[in-house]
Amino acid sequence: GNCEQLEEFYVSGPSFQRDDKFIFPCQTFLDDVTSPNLQRYVIELGPLQTYGHGINENSSVRALSLKEFDISKFGASKVNLLQRSEDIYLNRLHGGCKNIAPELVQAAGSMNDLTKLRLRACSEIECIIDTTCARSYFQLVALIPGLVKLELEEMENLKELCHGSPMHAVSFFEKLEELYIRKCEELHNIFPANCELRSLRILKIDGRGLYQPTVAISCAAVMLFSMSAAKSLEQLEELSIADCKDLRCIISDEDDKGNADISQALSNSQSLLPNLKKLYIHYCPKLEFVLPRFCVGLEKLQEIDIFKASELRYVFGHEYQNEIQTKLPNLESLKLQNLANLVRICSGNSQPLWPSLREIRCVNCPKLNTSCINLMVRSTMKLQHLSKGNSLEDDQGKKLASKLEQVEFRGFSELRFIWCDPTNRQILSLQYLQYLKVDGCAKLKSIFSVAILRSLQELTSLVIQGCNELEEIISENEELHHDMSNTTKAVCFSKLRNLTVKNCNKLKSILSVSMLGIPPQLSYLHISDAAELVQVFRNTSEKIVFPNLREMKLNKLPCLVEICKGFELLQPMKATKIIIDQCPNITSISKAT
């Protein structure tokens, strides 16, 4: 109806009832509303399926969300909500519109105020901008002058963002700040070679639709950025790419003339991606490297997360590129998972510099060079998760003080030494280490050396599983006996609370409390599936008590005779939960008097 005095209007609903008919009212509602003074509105009609949770009424003063909108029946004489909206979400747009500019804009009259555009399942759309339809360059630039955020989802016939010469769409790419692409399987050309992306901050591409856990193809792109376009990415902060089955490179390692190695040409120019903070790559099976080695300006990069890229050989570089040092001074998190052909972090012989590293997760990377793993282990970090690698080596003659707080090794089938070779005289301090888990390291013989043992004052949890060749937790060589006999004995595990050992069939005991002292804070002791374990703790004194022990589980230990000599529980025994199963040779446990 005619509501000439109406200034604000908010409505949300999937359908209305009219004339005893249940109808989908998008088009009818727009035809009915005539309010020339309407200044603020948030109108949502139809079920919402978008990246977020619909249009937030606080995010924009004029927002419109429509499903099943027929552009061919749009009446220009009505108050044009579409024309005046700042935030528009269109689901299943139809009516013969093949592009946004110029066709949709012309049908609406103008879209001068539009800043955010979200399109979903608009099967008739083939491109966002068609420069071949514009009568002049200035006409096209004026169509959507303020668009900064674009979201595209399930656009089944979308083939490119810009059709025709990108020189006629310069303003569109220059102002774009955020771009989200999801399940646009025919989209093969995202950024034209000569476009300028100087405002782009966020680019996310993936194949998972909202409420749809299954993975689909995100796009058909083989390459994302030409070198020319990449050099304009001065503001890019987050780059997230997933489910691109044909993607072979993110930034072309060729210049605009097709030359293969352009690192020298860039040596005197600006750095690439100077503001990039987050880099995520998931499910890109044809990607061989993530970024070229000449990306030397990644000083703000904080996170790298790469998952399931089966052909990936390097994170930085290509085999034929020159040696360039990759410096990542602010990198805090590095996650490399399920990368069957990953050889090195960087091509060539150089290693990246990452002094601020706090987290490493390396899972199922069987070909990763051992020197790369060695570098990860000795970097400053808070969480380390290493899997599927080989034995580690140390640099001789250097003293290493690590800030590691949590460490996890998993699936190193060939690993024989965690921290260093016993013949190496290097000292490694782990004074901040709180959590250590070692799992699936079949050839590991011991966990700690004597030099490292002295620094484990903060360790609270120690978990060891699936190490069938493990013979001792502490390498008790002559050095240990000499040191302990000539110095005042100090408790080496003064804060240890949890001790878990499973599936370590060559262990005969866990620790020697005679030499290392009683862990006074030990609360949880879980030992299982250790076929040759005779004692949990070795002890030469007559009496030993663990004052804070709350739970003890012993399971499938056929050779176990005793917890340790002189072991007693504090009264009352009910304060400690004790479970002993399939330990036929264990003696009774005494109560402390």
Most confident of 59-73, 223-237, 313-327: 223-237
Q: What angle (nearest 5°) sits at the alpha carbon of residue 176, between those of residues 27 and 224? A: 110
207-216, 284-293, 461-470, 515-524: the lowest-pLDDT one: 207-216
Which residue matches tokens 């690590």?
Answer: 402
Q: What angle (nearest 5°) sits at the alpha carbon of residue 209, between those of residues 303 and 206? A: 35
Q: Per residue in 64-75, is it b (16+ CB within 10 Å) or e — as a string?
A: bbbbebebeebe
CB-facing half-sphere around the CA of 179: CA atoms within 13 A? 20
What pLDDT does 28 receive?
Answer: 59
Most confident of 374-378, 386-390, 467-471: 467-471
Count of CB atoms situated within 10 Å of the CB of 254: 16
Report the alpha-carbon distance of residue 134 to residue 143 in Å, rounded. Answer: 10
Q: What angle (nearest 5°) sits at the alpha carbon of residue 578, between those of residues 576 and 582? A: 170
User: 124 near 99, Cβ under 8 Å?
Assistant: no
Which residues face 481 on adjacent strands? none
Which residues face 101 on adjacent strands? 129
What are 96-127's pLDDT values in tens digits?
889 998 888 888 878 888 999 999 999 999 99
pLDDT at 390 over 50: no
What pLDDT does 488 receive?
Answer: 45
User: 265 near 224, Cβ under 8 Å?
Assistant: no
Which residues face 182 on adjacent strands? 153, 206
Q: What band does 450 get if pLDDT is binned at 50, 70 and 90?
A: confident
What pLDDT does 59 receive?
Answer: 56
What pLDDT does 345 receive?
Answer: 87
Which residue matches tokens 């013969």?
Answer: 96
145-154, 211-220, 491-500: the lowest-pLDDT one: 211-220
Please state the rounded mean pLDDT for residues 496-511.
Answer: 94
- Phi/psi of residue 110, each to 5°? -175, 165
Please state the rounded mean pLDDT for residues 54-81.
Answer: 68
What pLDDT does 9 receive?
Answer: 76
What are 553-590's pLDDT values in tens digits?
999 999 999 888 877 766 555 578 889 999 999 876 65
- Phi/psi of residue 311, each to 5°? -100, 0
Q: Which long-range contacts (CB under 8 A, 24 or more apart) does 350-353 make?
A: 350/323, 350/324, 350/325, 350/326, 351/375, 352/316, 352/325, 352/326, 352/327, 352/328, 353/325, 353/326, 353/327, 353/328, 353/329
User: 50 near 74, Cβ under 8 Å?
Assistant: no
Task: Pick 363 or 91 by higher pLDDT.
Answer: 91
